Amino acid sequence: VTDASMAGQLVDVRPEGILKCVDGRGSDNTRMGGPKMPGGIYAIAHNRGVTSIEGLKQITKEVASKGHVPSVHGDHSSDMLGCGFFKLWVTGRFDDMGYPRPQFDADQGANAVENAGGVIEMHHGSHAEKVVYINLVENKTLEPDEDDQRFIVDGWAAGKFGLDVPKFLIAAAATVEMLGGPKKAKIVIPSISPAQIAEALQGRGWDAEIVTDASMA
């Protein structure tokens, strides 16, 4: 789906909004408008293979330096193990995908994030997500609605933090699968494509070609 068709739902990312988990449940958080990644900032550590408390603290500070409020979450039934992504990671469910387990538990991770300037969010209610939104429109996000739940994955944010984007998206999909979520995705893309831009320039006599970020590494 295009950003134009999502005009009533896509919102600008705001610096006061927390970089939060993709979880679609209700929350005690009121600082909305931040990017969504599995487990909040745990997604960054997971993708990079960072497993230490010190490494997690450095990621917390990095997220803040890039204009976002770092966070992780728990829930009202399982405390800090209420984050399904972290529970899968710490219990080895990602072992067969080559991700090393964290060297800290849920409480230690939350304390490290909070001590480094991050925010702890607490969710409530049961999972009832019907769809996964994968948003590729830069600096835009969607907001969770506990009465009409959906997983929200801001794929563009993975690029902002220099992550391996395909691995990030596959890990996000695996997370939804292992949590028993829906195998249904809506991929939100910009209304104008690179091909349309190249064609417009070529129409004016330009030599315009599309290159990938990998080719520009």
What is the identity of the amino acid at 91?
T
Structure tokens at 143: 């907001």
Which pLDDT does position 64 carry in this prediction?
98
List C-alpha distances in Å: 115 to 16, 57, 68, 134, 157. 18, 8, 16, 31, 23
pLDDT tens, residue by residue, 88-141: 999 999 999 999 999 999 999 999 999 999 999 999 999 999 999 999 999 999
Which ranges of the chain have pLDDT less than 70?
Answer: none
pLDDT at 6: 87
pLDDT of residue 175: 97
Cβ neighbours of residue 89 closer than 8 Å, sequence gap 6 or more: 39, 42, 46, 99, 101, 102
| C-alpha dihedral sign at 120, 67, 192, 44 | negative
Measured CA to CA, the distance from residue 22 to residue 174 in angstroms comes to: 13
Residue 217: the pLDDT is 75
Predicted model pTM: 0.91
- CA–CA distance, 44 with 33 (Å, rounded to integer): 19
